[in-house]
Amino acid sequence: MIAPSARGRMLFVLLLCGVAAFALLSCAKKPIERATNIVQLDYPAELPVVRREHWGWTPGEQALPDHTINRITIHHGGEEFSAEKDVLKYLPGFQTWSREEKHWIDIPYHFIIDLKGNIYEARPINLPGDTNTSYDPTGHALMCVLGNYENHIISKDQLNAIIGLTAFLAKRFSVPVDSIRGHKDYAETLCPGKDLYRYLRDGTIVKAVSEKMER
């Protein structure tokens, strides 16, 4: 027979063990909160878009509420992008840099367009983007063309990709065509570079997008 005081001590120790085990288990089980509300878009056959899963995108911590798209804003990378660089390998590094260096939840843009005019998904469209400049990108669908179009010429394939993607987004999110703009329309920047911006300024992009949407 155990003396009452010894039994009390044993019960206390058991209770402590239980509390410790519970604490350990709940720590181990605590899930990292991930972005689960990812909106998947259904692209038409004539608009091939590389899905984010294809380049090894990983979900980040959900830190931003969803936004409603009411603008489409065009950017350039702003730095040289070598034609030899493998974009499928570049994008995971861009995602890591965005998270670790900038403390953003993801790549700041929703879509990336490469030198050949291929389109890649980046940040999920339902999450607002990020910027180094002074405008608030909430409500903006953001696309970024890799390369620097302050010094380089935008190609026909790239322009077609911009127009195709913009027309799709404008239709999908009911964005009025006068809300299709360049980064420099909102902030002090050269982005998206003068050779790309001229197609926004002279109405080429908006006209082509309107025609595509009517078809």
Are 146 and 79 contacting, i.e. CB atoms less than 8 angstroms apart?
no
CB nearer Zn ion, residue 37 or residue 71: 71
| Tokens at 123, concatenated | 């940040």
Q: Stretches 6-14, 85-93, 161-169, 186-194: which one binds Zn ion (CB under 5 A)?
A: 186-194
CB nearer Zn ion, residue 126 or residue 131: 131
- The contact mask relative to Zn ion for 144-183 (x = CB under 5 A, - = no) is ---------------------------------------x
Hey, CA dihedral for 75, 81, 83, 85, is it positive or negative? Answer: negative
**Out of 52, 71, 75, 140, the residue judged to bind Zn ion by CB under 5 A:** 75
**Out of 113, 143, 163, 191, the residue judged to bind Zn ion by CB under 5 A:** 191
Question: How buried is residue 131: exposed, middle or buried, by Cβ count under 10 Å (0-12/13-18/19+)?
Answer: buried
CB nearer Zn ion, residue 86 or residue 136: 136
DSSP 89-109: HHHHHHHHHHHHTS--SS-SS
Identify residue 63 by its one-letter amino acid code. A
Q: Report the interface residues with Zn ion, using CB under 5 A.
A: 75, 183, 191
